Structure 1
Amino acid sequence: MSQIHLRPVQFVDTPIGQPDGAVARLAGGMQWFAAYEVTEDGRRRTVPVADIGALGERAAHLHGAITAPRAPLMLGERTLRFDQPLVAGILNVTPDSFSDGGTHGDDAAGAAEAGFAMGTAGAAIIDVGGESTRPGATTVWEGDEIARVVPVVERLVRGGALVSVDTRKAAVMEAALAAGAHLVNDVSALLWDERSAEVVARAGCPVVLMHSPDPRQGGHGRVTYRDVAVEVFDWLEMRIEAVVAAGIARSRILVDPGIGFGKSLSDNLALLNNLAIFHGLGCPVMLGASRKRLIGALSNEAPVAERLGGSLTLALRGAEAGAQLLRVHDVADTAQALRVWRGLRDRALVG
């Protein structure tokens, strides 16, 4: 028998003037909603928030997870709060990334300066990666990846930046964390390297678990989904439980639905339209859709460098769905879009 899944729907501008219990706040953030789309046994129906208690223990658990404020992350002397959407700036130090490969070459100082510029432009955290995970990319030897990543991480941390390391290799995680990185972002959800969960648990650092259908093979295997949002949710739910069992605190886990990883255009659009379902996992949600292939597919095959408009649209879609962290290439433009979005939300909340 399938389990119930809940997706917040019927968002409202403000709770002011609403009857008691008629609306709920989404994950302690800036969005309020009045109902759930309930999925059970392949069927969907809409249920008012006030009536969710009649649906049983599973629904009550999901409702509690969806509405609970996300605890801030204490990262050294800095705090990352999740009561509004934040920007994570993508800093690739690879020769072959799909978007900006080769931009920084072997210039660690130049890469770090680019990271600092992202921070000035509005990025809350800089996500440093030394291996491309685009389809068909060659696996990078961990020694080379460490050599690319660590000098950049060291410079950014010395300059006061919050840094995440985008890697699936335990040795790279260890080296980057030793250099001062604050967070691990793993596209394999700690499945590619059997030592990864141990490394993260020992460090006590936060980790982003991303969904992919074949994380041990690179993440781009194609499968057929009957209900992609529900199936990705269930996969992430199982991964969270496994990671918690491995000694990683649930409060240190973030999730990412893995837009573009082993999913068709239709799958990706369905995930984006159903993004709010992932708040039922009780973890902050990261959305990484910047400059991805789906934008080109919907805009006359626009090349990577011409996907800003689509990237901003998807970032704002994430903000509307309550995503707490938006991983983007175009930091200044995204930060500006979010400032305007927040201005609109602030005004709406006061009527």
Structure 2
Amino acid sequence: MATERNVWRLARRPVGAIAEGDLVYASEAMPEPEAGQFVLQVLYLSLDPTNRIWMSDAEQYMPPVEVGAPMRGLVAGRVVKSRKDGVAEGALYSGIGPWADFMVSDGQGLQPMALPPGVPLSVAFGVFGLVGPTAYFGLLDIGRPKAGETLVVSAAAGGVGQIVGQIGRIKGCRVIGIAGGAEKCRFLVDDLGFDAAIDHRGEDVGARLDALAPAGVDINFEQVGGPILDAVFARMRLFGRMPLCGLIASYNDTMERQGPAAWRHMLMRRLTVQGFIVTDYADRWGEAVAALGGWMAEGRIKTRQDVRPGLDRAVAHLDSLYTGGNFGKLLVEVVPDAARI
């Protein structure tokens, strides 16, 4: 067993983009598990847009990370020591944990993981840990897709967006993805089966939507906000639905942004805009995992993980989420294979 662990702690609340010194990486003594606890060696850390929200003291769905406390994230790992009945050494667990290579837990916030046959831990964690259920419940419960409708997905080459678009295709929708860069757009169409893709870095999103969806948009799965949201909002059809998953374009803002310029469309077109947090569906998690696992086994859903090495580089890796530098679900490989206990 290790006697030390490496951990990121929140040193101060970021103002705007995360700056050097906002989080501090250091080694510290490894706490011993007490009766009813176990030690998890963290193998993968999920990096998600919500990490930036947790660093702030703004209104949010969980208590903010306290200054001086370990940074919070979604983790997956293997039990290396257990003093808790029912938790065996070698078992895989995932859930909420610190940005660290080891953690001591009583099990709160963690769930056992069972890997589907032939599915690596990185893929299972990347899909079932957070993004798959987010896509599943957001699109099906709020978007309510119907065959023949037009679905637009922003941040479509990211962890959630790639799955949303494929579920939309399964449900018979015409799917248009919005992503940053020609390579990502080719991936959406050629690999994932999207009907079309718009490169927001090189194309006019509004003009391309007019060409690709002249009759308008029925469902907008929104993750970005800002001008992209405005462009889609203005082209929503009567009784359109907008699952609001995130607003990553504004997470580093230091001043409050004005709302979409097209709010009047919500009234005149009788639109439904509903924000949601995937933990709202915690009691139905198994439903999403079963459905997604079935579609993956059938080859109807493919996923791409963007796995980056090194816990010590987690902050730099996180920045790529806000600059569009990730391609697929962003994970940190905390412990390489050779160093796993």
**Fold agreement, TM-score > 0.5:** no
> What TM-score comes out, normalization by structure 1 length?
0.30
Q: Between Structure 1 and Structure 2, which shows a larger proportion of strand residues?
A: 2
Task: State the TM-score, normalizing by the size of structure 2.
Answer: 0.31
Structure with bigger gyration radius: 2
